[in-house]
Structure 1
């Protein structure tokens, strides 16, 4: 089996330009390239932050994200892909930055197994952010 490395995550969005702007303004991604996927009748963009890439798809007539998929706990009740997760250094600093950028925070998790949060992008898609562990909770 070859070694696998992460390349990108992807989400369908209703407005590609709005989503490119949101991922840039809120999360610091920059537009790497725009392209058309004829087989899917999709306009797409790859946004990037360092080695992380996120692919955004806009397809005319696509169904809106179901309400249950906009809430982390409810989303688990539907099979399929759930979200991508990014690692952050400091949850409280991140939450303060998200508040300043008026990001939609869906859920904050502060448990013995770890801390993090979920935010919704401008289309309602969930994105998780996990604080780096400073020590092994099991040994604390």
Structure 2
């Protein structure tokens, strides 16, 4: 196959990353206060699930709150350990000013869980207010 999938018509663009949270209102407030996202749309899913899309500059995060959620396994909190569990790992975003962004997070009381330096640039991982891991990469 070439760079484009054979037999697949049209172009693809990223729409959103999704995560379950114990308190959708608290999570939305965290994403607004810390990362500047705003509520784009709220909706319900049959069975009692609350959901919403948050948006910032064309990026979207979808949040879900379900009744009787199971807690996040402790190994999912560490990006290195989470690699050992099959499934989605984290949402990742690029930042134009890595050092400034990192300093802003720390000033807000958010400590990196893990920092990496690769040939393609630096990155850091944090956890949101519900424990979900998010990565930020130097653009």
Q: TM-score, normalised by structure 2?
A: 0.90
Partner Cα distance (1:85, 1:74) in 2:
17
Counterpart in the other structure of 1:74: 81
Distance (Å, rounded) in 2 between the aligned partners of 1:113 and 1:47: 28
The alignment partner of 1:48 has SS state of strand
- Structural mapping, 1:56-135, within 5 Å: 56-132=63-139
Gaps of 5+ in 1: 133-140
Q: What is the TM-score of this pair, normalised by structure 1?
A: 0.89
Count of residues in Structure 1 that have an aligned counterpart in Structure 2:
131
Cα distance, 1:23 vs. partner? 0.3
Give the secondary structure class of the aligned counterpart of 1:11.
strand
TM superposition shift of 1:104 = 3.9
TM-superposed CA distance for 1:114, in Å, is 2.1
Q: Output the aligned Cα RMSD.
A: 1.1
2:94 aligned counterpart, secondary structure = strand
Q: What is the Cα deviation at residue 90 of structure 1?
A: 2.2
Aligned mates of 1:87, 1:44 — CA distance in 2: 25
Q: Secondary structure at the match of 2:39?
A: strand
Q: Distance in 1 between matches of 2:111 and 2:33?
A: 13
